[in-house]
Chains A and B, each alone.
Chain A
């Protein structure tokens, strides 16, 4: 027997591949993705995947179908009348590329509002998926319930909840006008950030009508679990509504000077104290 050729031993590679950055203590000062370390000069896989997960969540928030029926069922169970409406957009891709169409109602939805027997509300309420259906799924129903309850203690009249698929903020101008409302409020999914895919915004417009521009609106943004809470957002909206009726206007002329002790419409409904 001949002796086999034994290859020279190959040294095992150190499994400590990532160069860590010795300034990770600074992470307490910012949520920015600092001190990520590197593989060579490149991003370590754990960071690459963590970024990809956040992006996936934000994408899902944009593209998940709006569960409008579920929202309507939930609100109707709570005794709120709802109207299901569509913008003039025919698909989600069209929604993303044609903001002009997202600002108008479809012909059918327009007709539905025109035929609606009651007109002339103080406040017209609309809700739309906007750029994050997830934001609306998670935040709209609790918000609307609390808001409706708060408003019930006042003499202000509220429209049915107009649930609009594929709407932009300005779609509430047309809805409000067709229902003869003095003021319109729309809850809408905001453009999702990498760390905030679930953020809902609210826009308020005095004497809504198509063609209204953004400087005539007031906005409350970042309503989500890790952001502005529902009770706090309702309090803010109540303040803006009171001010809008007082000055008969909205937008740049309506300044947010809400004090810490402000009580919506002078009262404190039980639900507002729950956090």
Chain B
């Protein structure tokens, strides 16, 4: 598996990559002939050692798997590209596929294969709006501020709303994780969306244990966030395990704050996180990443996104590696049945720039990506990395004729942000939305 993986710096760093181009292609040829059932009999990380392996094996749906039971990895790839593999068929198949099968197929695919198959997958989730419908494309509004200044957060929130963003979630990465701060930000975000009657959800991205404490304190928690990885040990380094995530899911659902559905979890992942925690078990980083999706789907999340270029060039060296990884992650997540978004991003020490982000963004649009991040001017001044902007989201929607989640789109029209045809309107100085930051004392 590792040797068949298209070149990326993290696998070289881990010492698991192919040592020549020829060795890589020969490994892919061998992998193509591996029967899918072998992944059920031989685990990449031993069953006894890892609760995620146990989750994958114990929850595998034999019945859903039966149509492709006789396939090799190569046959799975070929079949996925046929018209027979349509949206309904793929959705029914998802519980029968394991992360390792999906990761293996992705290693044999070119970008156009990853895009075409992912574009056929339909995953719809609901909390206060409907995310993932055909023809829609959503945005997480990410109004981070280096000192969690509430006025500053509100200013960036307004900026995003005026560009039609925020239907996936209005989600803050807090600068400090103190409980008081988490509760304070949750309350202010909740107040803003209630005041303007915005059909969306809010989230403060902190550790699940902090979110659970905030819930006990009575904070208005819509979504519960957690970073997750694909091995038990890597998750332990994040301070989580499966029972704890189950507890967090139940605590958040108990608030019953969703009006349309009860998808309450929000997960972030990213290739390389297990290696950086020294918890990769000699497995390549893309296979480990796909295993994180088995964790995610256990908890019926509203949103899942890979933060593809955040971790740095020692894992994904340049634009080419970031673009491929973003499309692989999106493909694997979708095929496993997740509402998959991508944080299209890079750091300043990676060999990447805005052109690479434009390429990945546009390819993801073609692949039917569920959502991206919206950061003012693509520059996150708290996390110090470059993601996608409100303008980027507007660009993709215009280019591909994509629309926000329907409930949110209706609100954008009524708020004077969009016109009847769904285009951004020039904001009128008297628009009541512009007074949003005044609500904060």
Contact = CB atoms under 8 A, between A and B. Distances in A.
B376 to A, nearest CB: 4
A93 to B, nearest CB: 8
A120 B146 CA distance: 41
Nearest to A43: B391
Nearest to B315: A97
A1 B152 CA distance: 71
Contacts of A99: 13, 314
A225 interface: no
B314 A97 contact: yes
A237 to B, nearest CB: 23
Interface string B156-168: 1011001100000
A96 interface: yes
B437 interface: yes
Interface in A14-60: 19, 21-23, 26-27, 29-36, 38, 40-43, 47, 51-52, 54-55, 58-59
A59 B352 CA distance: 10
Nearest to B427: A22
Interface in A117-143: 131
B427 A41 contact: no
A55 B348 contact: yes
Nearest to A193: B384
Nearest to B152: A30
B313 interface: yes
Contacts of B349: 62, 96, 131, 191-192
B378 A30 contact: no
B394 interface: yes
Interface string A228-266: 000000000000000000000000000000000000000
Given A97-B314, A100-B13, A32 B379 contact: yes
Interface in B254-290: none
B381 interface: yes
Given A26-B437, A98-B13, A191 B348 contact: yes
B152 A33 contact: no
A35 B348 CA distance: 24
Given A21-B427, A43-B391, A52-B354, A97 B152 contact: no
**Residue with the greatest number of chain B CB neighbours at <10 A, chosen from A33, A35, A96:** A33
B149 interface: yes
A34 B155 contact: yes
A122 to B, nearest CB: 32
A29 B317 CA distance: 35
A196 interface: yes
B159 A21 contact: yes
Contacts of A61: 348
A157 interface: no
A29 B155 contact: yes
Nearest to B278: A213
Nearest to B428: A22
Contacts of B13: 97-100
Interface string A75-106: 00000000000000000000011111000000
Given A30-B145, A42-B391, A47-B377, 18 more contacts: A21-B159, A22-B434, A26-B159, A26-B437, A29-B149, A29-B152, A30-B156, A32-B156, A32-B379, A33-B379, A33-B389, A51-B379, A58-B348, A62-B348, A97-B13, A97-B313, A193-B348, A195-B381
10 contacts: A23-B427, A29-B437, A30-B153, A31-B381, A32-B159, A34-B158, A38-B424, A55-B354, A62-B348, A195-B381
